[in-house]
């Protein structure tokens, strides 16, 4: 189990930001060649990002390169350079069907084990979520994570950008369902109002309640509260440990349900509790 609570975008054209990323407590870094980079800086960003990834020094953080789309003038060269740099994953923008995954796999060397992450940011992607997730498993470039592009979804659908995200909730939940059905992680979209700490925390809590693994971030100040919200609390850990220990008692062996503190607890609750403890251990192991 790998924590993906905080996933920070870093502009690939900013060399200082790439160096600073090595010191930040984010679980994952998306070194961006796409939206965060002006057209005139695309080649510089590609060179700087790939050199930084090759040099290493990012510690336990997952390092992901977001390339430009294959249909753009920059995408094919971005993809080839990213493959050579060997990051943890390559993030493909605007994935709309399994064809986008197949295109990447056809243009990669045989037996390439770099993971793919997929941006889910268009109406067609939402309509094809099952098919995209269903194509995740592969000997080459397996898809391991959905990344929600909520700003693009709002733009494409003409939905209203509301604090409660009501217009987005169906799409967010469908993304979680498709990801879980085929064993993928799923990371929520960004929160744009950087000074609004209360609003950011509320959106993190909503994302966790929906089942998201974490959230994409646009500023280092968002990392700490994001990590906190998407981590099991001490109370959750204590409750989970109590359930696991109760099912491990000799008198409860083989039972599908037991009584614990006046409530019925089923095996599925024990499985949830085990997942909670595994995530807590994975987070602790990161230091």
3-class SS of residue 22: helix
Instruction: State the pLDDT at residue 201.
Output: 98
- Please, what are the averages of pLDDT over each run of 10 residues along the chain (287 residues)? 96 95 97 95 97 96 98 97 98 98 95 96 98 96 98 97 97 98 98 97 98 98 98 96 94 91 92 95 90
| 6-229 placed in CATH 3.20.20.60 | yes
Do residues 78 and 71 touch, judged by C-beta distance below 8 A? no
Instruction: State the pLDDT at residue 1.
Output: 84
In the chain, where does DSSP find H-type helix? 15-20, 42-55, 75-85, 98-106, 123-127, 129-134, 150-157, 169-181, 197-210, 223-229, 234-248, 267-286
Q: How far is residue 226's CA from residue 48's CA, in Å, rounded to a whole number?
A: 28
Do residues 123 and 175 touch, judged by C-beta distance below 8 A? no
Q: Where are the domains of the chain?
A: 6-229, 234-286
Instruction: State the pLDDT at residue 286.
Output: 85
3-class SS of residue 190: coil
Instruction: State the pLDDT at residue 287.
Output: 74
Q: Rounded to an integer, what is the distance from CA 282 to the centroid of its chain?
A: 16
User: Quick check: pTM over 0.75?
Assistant: yes
């Amino acid at each position: 189990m790998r924590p993906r609570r905080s996933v920070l975008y870093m502009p690939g054209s900013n060399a200082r930001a790439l160096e600073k990323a090595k010191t930040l407590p984010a679980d994952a870094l998306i070194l961006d060649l796409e939206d965060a980079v002006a057209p005139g800086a695309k080649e510089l960003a590609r060179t700087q990002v790939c050199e930084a990834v090759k040099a290493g020094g990012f510690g336990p953080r997952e390092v992901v390169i977001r390339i430009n789309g294959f249909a753009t003038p920059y995408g094919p060269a971005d993809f080839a350079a990213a493959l050579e740099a060997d990051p943890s994953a390559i993030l493909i923008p605007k994935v709309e069907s399994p064809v986008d995954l197949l295109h990447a796999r056809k243009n990669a060397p045989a037996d390439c084990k770099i993971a793919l992450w997929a941006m889910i940011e268009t109406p067609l992607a939402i309509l094809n979520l099952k098919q995209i997730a269903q194509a995740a498993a592969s000997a080459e470039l397996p898809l391991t994570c959905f990344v929600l592009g909520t700003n693009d979804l709002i733009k494409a659908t003409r939905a209203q950008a509301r604090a409660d995200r009501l217009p987005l909730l169906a799409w967010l939940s469908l993304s979680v369902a498709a990801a879980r059905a085929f064993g993928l992680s799923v990371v929520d979209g960004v929160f744009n109002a950087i000074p609004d700490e209360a609003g950011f925390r509320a959106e993190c809590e909503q994302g966790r309640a929906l089942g998201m693994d974490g959230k994409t971030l646009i500023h280092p100040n968002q990392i700490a509260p994001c990590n906190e919200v998407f981590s099991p609390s001490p109370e959750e850990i204590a409750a989970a440990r109590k359930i696991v220990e109760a099912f491990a008692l000799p008198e409860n062996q083989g039972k599908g349900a037991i009584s614990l503190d006046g409530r019925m607890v089923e095996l599925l609750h024990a499985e949830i509790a085990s997942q909670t403890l595994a995530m807590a251990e994975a987070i602790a192991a990161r230091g």
